[in-house]
Amino acid sequence: MKSTLETLEDNRVKLSVEVDESEFDTAVNAAFKRIAKEVRMPGFRPGKAPRRLLEAQLGHQVGRDEALREAMPEYYTQAVIEHDVDVVGPPDINITGGQETGVVEFDAVVEVRPTVNAGGYDGLRIEIPSPSPSDEEIDEQLEQMRKHYAKFEVVERAAIDGDHVTIDIAGTHDEEEIPGLTTTDYDYEVGSGAVVAELDDHLRGASVGDELELDAEHPDPEEEAPISFAISVKEVKEAVLPELDDAWAAETSEFETIEELRADMVERLSGMRVAQARSAVQQNTAEALAALVLDEIPESMIDNEVNARIQDMVQRLQQQGMDVGAYLEAMGMTAESLAAEFREPAEQAVRVDLGLRSIAEAEGMNPDDEKLDEQLEVMAGMSGQSATELRERLAEVGQLSVLRADLGKQAAMEWLTENVELIDENGDPIDRAALEIPEEDAEGSADSADSTDLPDSPDSVDSTDSEEE
C-alpha cells in the first residue's frame, strides 16, 4: 500500500491511497471466506466452499465489493498512522479506481485538529479564594459555635429573628390537612425559612397568644391553590449565648483557653482554604486559557467530547447497577437535553486542549525522544512489558503521538499554573508560599501532588480515536 498526504483548506487533509492488486487480492480472498459462511453449496459444509466455485456461481464482483467495504477502513487507518494525521472527524472516502479490477485507489478527505492562537497566555491573572481565613471568618466560626451551645430563656416580648417560638401549626391544601405540615408544640427558629418564607414574615413581631393565618404559594407549580396555615403562638424564647472566655473553651472543647481554640480554628480553616485555593488555581487557569482561544472550533471536536462525557456517565451508572433510562427519567432529562447540558463544558474542554497544545508548541514543551522513552519506561513498569514492546504497540495503533501530545499538554499546564498571577477576591496579590501544603500533610498526598491533571482535557493515550478505527 502506498499513500500521500495533501493539506487542504479549513483544517482538512486529503489522503490518497493505492493498494496493488496482489495485496488487495488477499482482502478479496478473505471476503469470499466470509461469503462462504452465508452461502450453501452442494457438497460443501458452510464456510468450506472454495473461492473459484463461489466466483463461478456469484461472480467475481461480489467478493471485490465485499473486500472494498471491509478493507477500506483498514487501509485508511494505516494511512492515517503512516502520516501521523491528527483526525477529529470521520473521513469522506471516494474510490477513484479499481472497483472492478486492477489497483485500488481512493481519496479520504478528513478534518484534522486545528492549530489555534492562545495569545496572552504568558500574562494571565486569575482570581482564587484567599488561602488565609480572615479575622471575620474566624469570628463567624466562633459565633456559630456559641449559637450551638446557646441556652434559651422565655421572654415576655414579641418575637424577632433568632428567637425560638413554640407553635401549633396546621397546614391545609384545598381544605384538606397536610400531615407533614400539621403538628403541636413545634419549636421553630424565627428567620430560618425552614417552612415557608411567609411564616417568618408573620412570626416576626408575634407574641404569645397570637393566632395567625396565612397563605403560601404551593411548591408544585402545577398547583394553583395555595397552602393555608393556621398558627398558634404559645411561647417565645430568646437565645442566651455563652461568654467567649477560657472557662467556656475548656468546657466545650479540648482546649484550655479561648486563644488555643481560636488558633485551632485558624489552622483547620486555613487547611481547607489552601485546598480550595490550590484547586481553584487549576480550574480557573484552565477557564482563563479557554477564554484566550478565540478561533472557531470544529463542531466535530465538540460533538466527540460530548459523546465521550455521555459514555463516561453511562459507564459509571452501569458500574453502580443503575439503569440509564431510569436515571434520566428520574432527573427529568432526555438524551437530547443531557447532550445539550454537556455541550458548554465540552466546548471549554476542547478550547483548553487546543490552548495547551499551542503553549506546548510555542514554549518547546513537547517531549523529545529521550523524554518520551523515560515515560514509556514508567508505563512499561506498570504494565509488565518492556518499553520497546510498549513503544511498538502504541506506534502500531497510532497512539505514540497522542502520548507525546499528552505529555506536552501536561508540561504546558504545569508551566501555566506556575506562572499565572494570582489575586484574591479583593484584587490583592497572593503569595504562592501561602499555597504550600505543610510537609506532614503533603506526605499523605504525595502521589497526587506529583502529577498535574489536565482539567477536562479531551484525548488520552488510554483510548484510540474512534475515527481512526
Residue-by-residue pLDDT tens, the chain, 469 positions: 999 999 999 999 999 999 999 999 999 889 888 888 877 777 677 767 788 788 777 888 998 899 999 999 999 999 999 999 999 989 999 999 999 999 999 999 999 999 999 999 999 999 999 999 999 999 999 999 998 999 999 999 999 999 999 999 999 998 889 888 999 999 999 999 888 889 999 999 999 999 999 999 888 888 888 999 999 999 999 999 999 999 999 999 999 999 999 999 999 999 999 999 999 999 999 999 999 999 999 999 999 999 999 999 999 999 999 999 999 999 999 999 999 999 999 999 999 999 999 999 999 999 998 999 999 999 988 878 888 889 989 988 889 999 999 999 999 999 999 999 999 999 999 999 999 876 655 554 444 444 444 444 455 444 334 444 3
pLDDT at 462: 44
pLDDT at 460: 46
Is the CB of residue 74 less than 8 Å from the CB of residue 468? no
pLDDT at 465: 43
pLDDT at 441: 56
Question: Which CATH architecture fits 152-240?
Answer: Roll (3.10)
Residue 5 sits at the vertex; the CA angle it makes with 4 and 7, to the nearest 5 degrees, is 155
DSSP 121: G
Q: Tell me the C-alpha to C-alpha distance, in Å, between residue 357 and each of 15, 279, 331, 407, 412.
A: 24, 22, 37, 10, 8
pLDDT at 463: 38
Predicted TM-score (pTM) of this structure: 0.73
Is the CB of residue 15 less than 8 Å from the CB of residue 94? no
2-111 belongs to CATH 3.30.70.3400: no
Amino acid symbol at 151: K
Determine the Cα–Cα distance for residues 337 and 456; give it in Å rounded to an integer: 20
Is the CB of residue 25 less than 8 Å from the CB of residue 51? no
* Cell representation of residue 279: 484547586
- Closest residue by Cα to residue 86 from 447, 422, 431, 408: 408
pLDDT at 24: 92
Strand 227-240, strand 125-127: pairing: unpaired
* Cell representation of residue 171: 397546614
DSSP 220: S
Determine the Cα–Cα distance for residues 4 and 82; give it in Å rounded to an integer: 9
* Number of Cβ within a 10 Å radius of residue 346: 24
pLDDT at 161: 94
DSSP 123: G
Helix, strand, coil percentages (3-state) for the chain, rounded to 5, are 50, 15, 35
Residue carrying C-alpha cell 466470509: 34
Determine the Cα–Cα distance for residues 185 and 167; give it in Å rounded to an integer: 5
Is the CB of residue 158 less than 8 Å from the CB of residue 235? no
- Closest residue by Cα to residue 348 from 286, 440, 394, 391: 286
* CATH topology agreement for domains 2-111 and 258-468: no
pLDDT at 452: 40
Determine the Cα–Cα distance for residues 3 and 15; give it in Å rounded to an integer: 7
pLDDT at 155: 95
Buried b (16+ CB within 10 A) or exposed e, 190-215: beeeebbebbbebbeebebebeeebe
pLDDT at 440: 53
Determine the Cα–Cα distance for residues 304 and 310; give it in Å rounded to an integer: 10
Determine the Cα–Cα distance for residues 164 and 135; give it in Å rounded to an integer: 29
Strand 183-189, strand 151-154: pairing: unpaired
Is the CB of residue 203 less than 8 Å from the CB of residue 233? yes
Q: What is the CA radius of gyration of the chain?
A: 34
Sequence spans of domains, the chain: 2-111, 152-240, 258-468
CATH number of 258-468: 1.10.3120.10
